[in-house]
Structure 1
Amino acid sequence: MQITDFNDFLLAARAQDEPQRLLLVFAARELPLNHTPGQKKRFEAGQGGALAPVMCVDKAVDELPDFATLARESQQTGQPWDVAFVAALPGIDGALPTAPDVERALKMMIDAVHRGAIERFLAFDADGKVLRLT
């Protein structure tokens, strides 16, 4: 299955043999503290910058019917974001992952986003479309 948007990701997660816990780390573009004038100019033009985690959440697949629901929930926080990094944490023997496992996985995701080690995650824009980040 080719994933082109967040709803495709939800379908793929629902199709797994084991129950999935969805892990989401939302990040906002920011200008690095020690930026160059060129970086500042590109950032102001809507390009470049760094991605900083601003919030995270985990959801069981059945708690999230579609991207529109996720977008509404995120807007209610008042925290703007530009990219949602997502992963699915599988359960074992029909049981969802434990709370400590979920917390540990979210912390690892947040750390990875801070370091720019995002290749293991799917990334979606604020419209729920897949992003190809380089």
Structure 2
Amino acid sequence: MISMFSDLLEMANEQPDPQRLLFLFASAEATKKSAKRDDKKGTISPVMVVDKLPEEVPSFGALSKEADSINKHWDFVFIASLSGDNKTPPSSDDAEPYLNRMTEDVSTGQNIRRYVVFDRQENPIELLAS
């Protein structure tokens, strides 16, 4: 599990083909308190998506600030990477179907384990579908 956002940026930059990072910001709503303190249940709803080249994201703080300037109602960011080809990074048009898939995955709670997830404080989060 990636423990820091900077690790994710470093890994993206080390790939043999250029990467495009895909971000889905989501809000969470608790539905039931659990007996376990660290085990919370609720729903997650997509709020907004964006794609960026790794060099367009200097830090988690910069990404959060930009997201907040658009919509402050997010609790988590789901992240995936799309690989380019022949030393050419994927375009935003290339990323669109993957962003749509991320939105569907988060909306339905399916396949969410394939994404790296951080909360607003840059803590890595492990989410499980119920």
TM-score (norm 2): 0.86
Deviation string, structure 1 residues 64-117 (Cα, Å, up to 9, x no partner): 111111011111113321111000001000111133320011001100101112
Aligned residues: 124
Cα RMSD (Å) of the superposition?
2.0
| Whole-angstrom distance in 1 between the partners of 2:53 and 2:104 | 22
Runs of at least 5 residues in structure 1 that lack an aligned partner in the other structure: 32-38
- C-alpha distance in 2, partners of 1:100/1:77? 21
1:8 aligns with 2:7: yes
Distance 2:8 2:91 in 1: 22
Runs of 4+, deviation exceeding 6 Å: none
Query: In 2, distance between residues paired with 1:130 and 1:28?
Result: 16
Normalising by structure 1, we get a TM-score of 0.84
- Consecutive unaligned residues of structure 2, counting only runs of 5 or more, are 35-39
Deviation at 1:60, TM superposition (A): 0.5
Asked whether the 8 Å contact 1:27–1:55 carries over to 2, the reply is yes
- Bigger strand share: 2
Determine helix, strand or coil for the equivalent of 1:128.
coil
